[in-house]
Amino acid sequence: MSAQIGVTGLAVMGANLARNFARNGYTVALHNRSVAKTDALLAAHGHEGSFVRTETLAELVDALERPRRVLIMVKAGAPVDAVIEALVPLLEEGDIVIDAGNSHYEDTRRREAALAAKGLHFVGIGVSGGEEGALLGPSIMPGGSRASYDSLGPMLEKIAARYDGVPCCRWVGTDGAGHFVKMVHNGIEYADMQVIGEAYDLLRSGAGIGPAEQAGIFTEWNKGELSSFLIEITAEVLGHTDARTGAPFVDVVVDSAGQKGTGRWTVVSALELGSPVSGIAESVFARALSSQRDQRATARQVLTGHEQQVAVPEGFVEDVRQALFASKLVSYAQGLDMLGAAAKEYGWDLKLDEIASLWRAGCIIRAELLDEIMKAYAGGDKPANLLFAPAFAGAIAAAVPAWRRVVATAVALGIPVPVFASSLAYYDGLRRDRLPAALTQGLRDLFGAHTYRRTDAEGTFHTLWGGDKSEIEAVDTH
Ligand code: 6PG
């Protein structure tokens, strides 16, 4: 029997996606560089559905119905290129190569163009939800040609998570759009985790609330507007006791956070797009700072904090909840704003309501909030920024007093809250009537004749700083 899809790369994500397809009634051809992994998968899960065992890529390709669909799930970077190189000579016009890893969207754009020139479809899909999601229903963000989605989309939608019966899978745009959207998802994921971490630190170091008690607080928070997967698992992690020591698990884990790259890529791309994703950037930098263990050890010896021993204000736990919610909203607003900027830059027709709808279930940042975000962009009157949507403008305004109290308290106590504070600065920066950018422009004009525009006249100007300081009209040099 011909298989409807082939999967090469059977580490846990690839294996679970293959099982998911099979459990949903598809015949799945399996391939892995070492056959032992294929056999292990078949031994443990072969009964779950219809699989075809293959030992080489040529056998994999031969096992597939046409157009062939081959899903690659190997480590991002050179390994993906190596598989493509081996696969392409075996394929025929119209076949579809799918990269389901966390590839960089520029790689995906390059690969898509190269394969399109050979008459092949290359589809970069963002897959979120971790190992369990891959098996039981991930959120899927497919890019590539629209035509390829006609053949591939129904299968992806079948294995995807569902929210109110709607699959969390939808074509998001051409070439690298799927991987770009997944990358920004991960940027938001970083920020989401960092704001949770800041809330935990404030409650622990500021209010003296231990992990076990905090587990209860996060469980409560998960019942309200913060309801989300990450808040839910925060309660689980904080409530966990280390079996070896009996200590709270969080106290035996080394406090240096790793990263595989997608958060960093989000920030690099945002810098190139000129997109102010300050909360996401701070969360990437917070991980980087946490990893500078030697410098941190020295800093504890040589740097003085002059913390003020202030008592946390009454109602602090609720204040922290509100500050967390407001900062989280800002991260989502910044991520979605960046998607808007990327759509213009890369010619993608990214629909923010549809992207929010994909994130409502299956993915790591799934949250109640995303249904509201989807609705905010669903109408004809799309907000230029998520925070301008009436529902969110009202929600964040309600949180501002608590947010300011929390940031002020954190500063006084010397508890770093980079995302709480930078998100508040973004919010204030957006709202401010006059920004000191006017002075920046003056300085740039003085030292580099970079010119400026006036508030009271059209045109571009330069002041003759080295001469009589008169003003002349100039060519805009930005
Ligand atoms: C997901 C996750 C997943 C993974 C990333 C981030 O959506 O399922 O984002 O892709 O957790 O690799 O990992 P790092 O924190 O290591 O960058």
For residue 478, what pLDDT is reported?
62
Query: Quick check: 238 pLDDT over 80?
Result: yes
Average pLDDT, the chain: 97
Is residue 129 marked as binding?
yes
For residue 135, what pLDDT is reported?
98
Is residue 385 marked as binding?
no
- 129 CA: nearest ligand 1 atom: 8
Closest to 95 (Cα-Cα) out of 55, 25, 157, 151: 151
For residue 352, what pLDDT is reported?
97
d(CA 370, CA 390): 15
Give the pLDDT confidence of 375-414 residue by residue, as tens digits. Answer: 999 988 899 999 999 999 999 999 999 999 999 999 999 9
Where do we find the tokens 């006791």? 241
Q: Map out the domains of the chain with their CATH numbers.
A: 5-171 (3.40.50.720), 182-431 (1.10.1040.10), 436-473 (1.20.5.320)
In this structure, what token pair is assigned to residue 382? 């799309």
- When pLDDT is averaged across residues 156-166 and rounded to a whole number, the result is 97
Is residue 76 marked as binding?
yes
Cα 407 to its chain centre, rounded Å, is 25
**Dihedral of CA 409/411/416/419: which sign?**
positive
Query: Quick check: 225 pLDDT over 90?
Result: yes
For residue 102, what pLDDT is reported?
94
- Taking CB atoms and a 6 Å cutoff, what residues make up the pocket around ligand 1? 102, 128-130, 186, 189, 258-260, 262-263, 363-364
For residue 379, what pLDDT is reported?
85
- 102 CA: nearest ligand 1 atom: 10
Which one is catalytic: 189, 198, 282, 328? 189
% of the chain residues with pLDDT over 90: 98
Give the pLDDT confidence of 413-458 residue by residue, as tens digits. Answer: 999 999 999 999 999 999 999 999 999 999 999 999 999 999 999 9
Output the CA 127–ligand 1 centroid distance in Å: 10
- 261 CA: nearest ligand 1 atom: 17
Output the CA 473–ligand 1 centroid distance in Å: 51
Residue 299 half-sphere exposure toward CB, CA atoms < 13 A = 8
Query: Quick check: 476 pLDDT over 80?
Result: no
Is residue 469 part of the annotated active site? The answer reads no
Query: Quick check: 1 pLDDT over 80?
Result: no
Nearest CA to ligand 1 atom 7: 128
pTM listed for this prediction:
0.96
Give the pLDDT confidence of 185-212 residue by residue, as tens digits. Answer: 999 999 999 999 999 999 999 999 999 9
Is residue 128 marked as binding?
yes
For residue 262, what pLDDT is reported?
95
Is residue 417 marked as binding?
no
% of the chain residues with pLDDT over 70: 100
Output the CA 186–ligand 1 centroid distance in Å: 6
DSSP string of 10-63? -SHHHHHHHHHHHHTT-EEEEE-SSHHHHHHHHHHHGGGSEEEE-SSHHHHHHT
Which one is catalytic: 55, 106, 118, 182? 182
Nearest CA to ligand 1 atom 10: 128
Encoded amino acid at 381, one letter = D
Give the pLDDT confidence of 269-314 residue by residue, as tens digits. Answer: 999 999 999 999 999 999 999 999 999 999 999 999 999 989 999 9
Between strands 162-163 and 166-167, the pairing is antiparallel
Output the CA 119–ligand 1 centroid distance in Å: 32
d(CA 406, CA 422): 13
In this structure, what token pair is assigned to residue 79? 């390994």
Is residue 92 part of the annotated active site? The answer reads no
For residue 477, what pLDDT is reported?
67
